[in-house]
């Protein structure tokens, strides 16, 4: 059996609604600033008008170049740009790769893949009456397009895998990348997720589930209110996030900066219902991540909750936290940052992993925005409603719980600087 290696987080990259600057992104979250706006279309027979989170500052052509951009659906553009940013943040260069990168890999997450490319094809065929779709439709739409482009552009010759596990996709991608580095299979893994779900049919499908937040153009910034008595549902969003995970000794040998250490990963299935979450499965995922990381419950100083603002999901997650942390739960700081950046489905776990890493690095916790009155069923933990700074944060969990009953939890430990 291979010796378990320590795994460092040495690079972070983000394409967010606030832009790509990590410190500015985290500063805005600490300030409780919402990126939620309004998605309005002129589609027939009925236009869309829902709260949504865009990435308005992302210029794909400037970042990727027109030829490369033209071969990518938006989710691939977001993911590749985030991966480039994380790669450079870790101190690596693009261009001709050295031979050692033959076993460096990519592990990526997306729930929907290139859904915009497919919807465009459907519209061309059935709405516009054209006899064929664009020749690149298949490679634009395939779920593994992002990790394929990342591997090609960065010359990463190791494993190239895509995880499609609904809202747990990128957390599972990160967890599996972590396992490969820890086992010695790869000294470096680039991992994360991307999503761009604003296709008309996709939004209508989520709307049909009756779990999208209500709100108009004026109230949209406050539409997502996890754990609140007046929460009305989740807010969809787009984005991309990437992390470079690296063998600790490898990172130290090249003098890399280390944001945090990833120490544990837990993945479980509720095995009970397609859309109704179960506290037991979430409990087991958290306990598995803790055991995997050799962490005791009293070492966890923050939990970035899945917290989507759905009526049942929020209360079940709190119940699971209470089961895991027992008497310590009432003093456990918990926040749901989707209240500000929305729910990027398969990319949400990677975005929240970055937030958790930055919390440990900067010793600060962002709040659950817009939380005025906690739903009685969500009481029992220490809800963070305004930023907390200057804390002695030692370790933290990042939770992702998906339709299908798939649960993924990542455990991170702070490092001394």
Paired with 82 in beta bridges are: none
Strands 160-163 and 49-52: unpaired
Concerning whether 343 is annotated as a catalytic residue, the answer is yes
Paired with 212 in beta bridges are: 234
Give long-range contacts, CB 8 A cutoff, 24+ apart: 272-276: 272/405, 273/405, 274/403, 274/404, 274/405, 275/209, 275/403, 276/312
The Cα–Cα gap between 136 and 73 comes to 10
Give SS3 for 410: strand
Give SS3 for 291: helix
Burial class (CB in 10 A: 0-12, 13-18, 19+), 334: buried
Out of 55, 167, 224, 378, pick the active-site residue.
Answer: 167
From start to end of 22-180, where are the E strands? 37-40, 49-52, 105-109, 160-163
From residue 241, give the alpha-carbon distance in Å to each of 77, 109, 111, 171. 11, 10, 14, 11
Contacts of 139 (CB under 8 A, 6+ apart): 71, 145
- Chain position carrying tokens 């604003």: 198
The Cα–Cα gap between 336 and 302 comes to 11
Paired with 167 in beta bridges are: 165
Give SS3 for 69: helix
Concerning whether 167 is annotated as a catalytic residue, the answer is yes
Out of 163, 222, 341, 343, pick the active-site residue.
Answer: 343
Residues 342/52, Cβ–Cβ less than 8 Å: yes
From residue 271, give the alpha-carbon distance in Å to each of 238, 281, 306. 29, 8, 19
The Cα–Cα gap between 147 and 161 comes to 7
Tokens of 410: 């990542």
Question: What is the phi/psi pair of residue 11, to 5°?
Answer: -150, 140
Out of 54, 163, 222, 306, pick the active-site residue.
Answer: 306
Residues 236/52, Cβ–Cβ less than 8 Å: yes
The Cα–Cα gap between 269 and 260 comes to 28
Residues 241/193, Cβ–Cβ less than 8 Å: yes
Concerning whether 250 is annotated as a catalytic residue, the answer is no
**Hey, which residues are catalytic here?**
167, 306, 343
């Amino acid at each position: 059996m291979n010796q378990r290696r320590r795994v460092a987080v040495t690079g972070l990259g983000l394409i967010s609604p606030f832009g790509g600057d990590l410190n500015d992104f985290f500063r805005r979250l600490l300030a409780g600033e919402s990126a939620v706006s309004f998605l309005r279309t002129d589609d027939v027979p009925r236009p869309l008008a829902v709260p949504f989170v865009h990435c308005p500052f992302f210029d794909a052509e400037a970042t990727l170049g027109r030829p490369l951009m033209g071969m990518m659906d938006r989710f691939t553009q977001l993911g590749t740009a985030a991966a480039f940013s994380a790669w450079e943040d870790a101190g690596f260069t693009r261009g001709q790769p050295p031979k050692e990168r033959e076993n460096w890999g990519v592990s990526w997450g997306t729930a929907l893949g290139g859904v915009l490319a497919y919807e465009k094809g459907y519209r061309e065929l059935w709405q516009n009456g054209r006899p064929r779709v664009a020749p690149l439709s298949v490679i634009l739409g395939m779920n593994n397009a992002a990790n394929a482009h990342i591997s090609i552009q960065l010359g990463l010759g190791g494993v190239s895998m895509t995880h499609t596990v609904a809202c747990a996709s990128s957390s599972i991608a990160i967890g599996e990348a972590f396992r490969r580095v820890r086992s010695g299979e790869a000294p470096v893994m680039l991992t994360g997720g991307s999503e761009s779900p604003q296709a008309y049919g996709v939004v209508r499908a989520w709307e049909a589930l009756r779990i999208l937040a209500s709100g108009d153009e004026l109230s949209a910034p406050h539409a997502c209110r996890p754990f609140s008595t007046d929460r009305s549902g989740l807010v969809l969003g787009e984005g991309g996030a990437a992390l470079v995970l690296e063998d600790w000794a490898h990172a130290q040998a090249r003098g890399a900066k280390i944001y945090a250490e990833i120490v544990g990963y837990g993945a479980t299935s509720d095995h009970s219902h397609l859309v109704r979450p179960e506290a037991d499965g979430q409990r087991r995922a958290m306990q598995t991540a803790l055991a995997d990381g050799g962490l005791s419950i009293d070492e966890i100083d923050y939990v970035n909750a899945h917290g989507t603002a759905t009526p049942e999901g929020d209360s079940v997650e709190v119940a699971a936290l209470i089961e895991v942390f027992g008497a310590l739960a009432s003093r456990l700081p918990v926040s749901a940052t989707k209240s500000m950046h929305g729910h990027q489905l398969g990319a949400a776990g990677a975005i929240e992993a970055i937030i958790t890493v930055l919390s440990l690095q900067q010793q600060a916790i962002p709040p659950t925005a817009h939380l005025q009155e906690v739903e009685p069923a969500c009481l029992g933990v220490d809800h963070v409603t305004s930023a907390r700074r200057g804390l002695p944060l030692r370790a933290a969990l990042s939770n992702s719980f998906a339709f299908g009953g798939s649960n993924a939890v990542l455990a991170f430990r702070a490092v001394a600087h």
